[in-house]
Amino acid sequence: METEETLRRRIDTVADLGAIVRTMKALSAVSGRHYERVLKSLDDYTRTVDMGLQVALRGRVFHRPVRKQPPMRLGAVVFGSDVGLCSRFNEDLVTHAVDKMNGFRVPPAARSVLAVGARIDARFGELGHPVEETFVTPGSPTGITATVRQILAKLDDWQDQTIRHVLLFYSQSGVPRLLHLLPVDLRQFHRLTREPWPSHVLPGHTLDAERLLAALIRQHLFVGLFRACAESLASEHQMRLRAMQAAERNIQDRMEELVFAFRNHRQDAIDAELLDIGAGFEAVAGVS
């Protein structure tokens, strides 16, 4: 049977855990809102890039899609986390990524995976799937740009290695998502050429059309990677917030159990002392 001192120590330990969980819960809530604001501000930049593509693609003919050959080599960028305590955030994402890559019938030896987050790397390792390189997840919204530039540089290296097909995996509100990053299909921008220009003056450009289009597609890739990274970080904090809320409820339940046991133990001790006093008084009264 636990002693009163043991119960008191356990209550103190649970209280300390509760304080840690509340701190992590608050940090996740604040960080999640920061990344949600970043995503909203990204909409304006995305609109600017789309308007540039609308100008660059004006007058182009979009051909019907031809039957695609399966890729000989496959690249994948997977956004995860460096820190745990976010439920099955990384596990579900890696499972989804592996299932989708298997659908391309490209053997693992012909796949190049770039993991953003140590937990993603570890999970791929558990499944026996090699990871070519691992980047650290950004610690704040200001660090996303540097990470995206690193990824773009890696994509250039893959292009030199004849890796033409690249998939992007990330989590949105806890749900794994897939984006076909490369090759860029210009037909997806066909809708832009049909949209009316927001002013009465149609814009022009002096830059070579091919160079302009290449630069805008580069910005399109940047926006896609930036959005995926921000979505992933927001989702990570959402999942961690849910996990901390569940942990907080469990801690509260456990604290109530320990406090109840401590009070019962304390009451039993008081009752025993009272009985001893009563027995002692009766013994003294009987002698006298």
Nearest of 41, 169, 73, 178 to residue 117 by alpha carbon: 169
Neighbours of 85 (CB within 10 A): 15
In this prediction, residue 241 carries a pLDDT of 92
Would you say residue 280 lies in a domain?
Answer: no
Would you say residue 246 lies in a domain?
Answer: no
Strand partners, 74: 111, 165
**Contacts (Cβ under 8 Å, ≥6 apart) of 106:** 70, 71, 72, 73, 74
Would you say residue 2 lies in a domain?
Answer: no
In this prediction, residue 275 carries a pLDDT of 77
Neighbours of 31 (CB within 10 A): 20
In this prediction, residue 175 carries a pLDDT of 94
Strand partners, 183: none
In this prediction, residue 200 carries a pLDDT of 77
Would you say residue 1 lies in a domain?
Answer: no
Nearest of 62, 49, 53, 90 to residue 224 by alpha carbon: 49
Domain count, the chain: 1
In this prediction, residue 82 carries a pLDDT of 94
In this prediction, residue 269 carries a pLDDT of 78
pTM: 0.83
Nearest of 124, 146, 135, 117 to residue 233 by alpha carbon: 117
Q: What span, in angstroms and rounded, lies between the C-alpha atoms of 54 and 16?
A: 57
Would you say residue 37 lies in a domain?
Answer: no
Would you say residue 170 lies in a domain?
Answer: yes
Would you say residue 142 lies in a domain?
Answer: yes
Task: Output the domain CATH number for residue 167.
Answer: 3.40.1380.10
Domain coverage including residue 101: 53-61+71-198+206-241
Q: What pLDDT tens digit does each residue of the chain (288 aa) get?
A: 578 788 889 899 999 999 999 998 998 999 988 898 999 889 888 988 888 888 888 776 656 555 566 678 999 999 999 988 898 999 999 999 999 999 998 888 899 999 999 999 999 999 989 899 999 999 899 999 999 999 999 999 999 999 989 999 999 998 999 999 999 887 777 777 777 877 777 777 777 878 888 899 999 999 999 999 999 999 999 999 999 999 999 999 999 999 998 888 888 778 777 777 777 767 777 665
Nearest of 31, 5, 6, 15 to residue 256 by alpha carbon: 15
For residue 183, whether the previous peptide bond is cis, meaning omega lies within 30 degrees of 0, is yes
Would you say residue 116 lies in a domain?
Answer: yes
Find the helix or strand (DSSP H, E) in which 59 lies.
none
Token pair 């299909």: residue: 185
Q: What span, in angstroms and rounded, lies between the C-alpha atoms of 116 and 82?
A: 8
Q: What span, in angstroms and rounded, lies between the C-alpha atoms of 284 and 277?
A: 11
The tokens describing 32, both together, are 């999640």
